[in-house]
Amino acid sequence: MNDRDSTGCEEPAAAALRPPRRHGLGTTAVHAATAPGRVQGACVTPIFQAATFAFEGTEDGYHAVRYTRCNNNPTQLALAAQLAALEGAEAALPLASGMAAISSTLLHLLEPGAHVLVPSSTYGGTHDLLASLLRRWGVSASAVGPDSGPREWEAMLQPGKTRVFYVEALSNPLVQIMDLRAVVAFARRHGLVSIIDATFTTPLNLRPLELGFDVVLHSATKYLSGHSDVIAGVVAGSSELVEGVKATANLLGPSIDPHAAFLVSRGLRTLALRVVRQNSNALELARFLARSPKVLRVHHPGLEASPYHQRAQALFANGGCGGVFSFELADGVDAAETLLKGLRLALVAPSLGGVETLVTRPATTSHAGLSPSEREAAGISDGLIRVAVGIEDTADLLADFGTALAGV
Ligand SMILES: *Cc1c(COP(=O)(O)O)cnc(C)c1O
């Protein structure tokens, strides 16, 4: 073995990115990080905190240059292998943020004049990307509702222009679920690239590539890293697609720093444990709140009463719906503010997917940019509270919310 093999510095072939045989996701999360090769026998891939590397190739020209902006640093490649294995993808590309993954993917796939189908409730950054920057570059978008179907989508198609059907696995903050199988079938029938932002479901709860999606995106800032201490994103799909996005990202420059890549890789090792706990914490807390006479409505697709319950059962592995849900109190905004002030464990903060429970009132945070009537049209009342549960003991979470509710 020469040095390059033992440091895993050679860019691994797509086949080597996949685990040799199919293990469970918990096992894959632990072992895939060292799949490209162990360095000096270390059980974790070290942080190659290096911007550049000695030039060894002569024939490959530019492709032989190893430079961290070009996403071929060994720490970046080890994380790419781990992510591809978890997603069951031919290839994956970690980048500096979820928005870097989303913008690099859309800029790779679209050109002036192109048109996109996108959910009406899409993540704020994605909405703004399409509504401002991409619009300036001549890309247009049509908004599809959570309960829409092929008939509505057909009416929005712009033949020869519509290129991408972009969806999210669960909407924020009402956790609605689109008919994802119908999205894939429609995209195939009309030659569209199907893209799903699966940040809320993780590879544990949803298997988008097995459903037939072409591209999976994540904000790895959330569940994948899992500790609210790093900003990162990922694109996964076919080698051809990922290579194309990588070429675009290499020009835009949002490569992931090796230290951030290391943190995501470390977080991923415990993904399976964390998500199982968050699935059950969120469902238990949602059931607890639904029993209170002070609570008007709970939005959680794991509840039998949810209009999205059937879809969740059909699409999500073991019915796991993730750690995010929302609810409304009977007494509206003032009661919601009192409840937030009464919480001792749960922290009032945006974001989700970390080990600690976070709560927000979307009308004042993620959806503050909408007018009250736009929020109402989207079903987001001013008193709505979003909960992103962590991995605390379930009994402690129920007690925290119980105490806060008693003070309302
Ligand atoms: C947070 C988030 C993003 C953006 O990710 P960043 O890492 O903050 O850039 C995109 N999509 C969803 C669903 C998110 O929750």
> For the domain that residue 389 is a member of, what is the CATH number?
3.90.1150.10
126 C-alpha vs ligand 1 centroid, how far in Å? 8
Residue 286's pLDDT band (boundaries 50, 70, 90)?
A: very high
**CA dist., res. 108 & res. 240, Å (int):** 12
The answer to whether the Cα torsion of 318, 322, 323, 329 is positive or negative is negative
**Domain for residue 402, yes or no?**
yes
Catalytically active residues, by annotation: 69, 123, 197, 222
| pLDDT, tens digit (0-9, with 9 covering 90-100), for 105-118 | 999 999 999 999 99
**Domain for residue 162, yes or no?**
no
Q: Give the number of the atom of ligand 1 that is nearest the alpha carbon of residue 222.
A: 1
**Domain for residue 325, yes or no?**
yes
pLDDT > 70 in the chain, percent: 92
Domain count across the chain: 1
Domain of 380, in residue numbers: 275-406
Q: Please tell me the pTM assigned to this model.
A: 0.93
Contacts of 223 (CB under 8 A, 6+ apart): 199, 202, 271, 274, 275, 278, 322, 323, 352, 353
**Domain for residue 327, yes or no?**
yes
**Domain for residue 172, yes or no?**
no
Q: Among 221, 252, 264, name the best residue to mutate to test ligand 1's pocket (greatest count of ligand atoms within 8 A of Cβ).
A: 221
The pLDDT value given to residue 37: 78
Q: What is the mean pLDDT of residues 307-336?
A: 96
99 C-alpha vs ligand 1 centroid, how far in Å? 6
Which residue has the CA at smallest separation from atom 2 of ligand 1?
219
**Domain for residue 124, yes or no?**
no
Structure token digits, residue 244:
């194309």
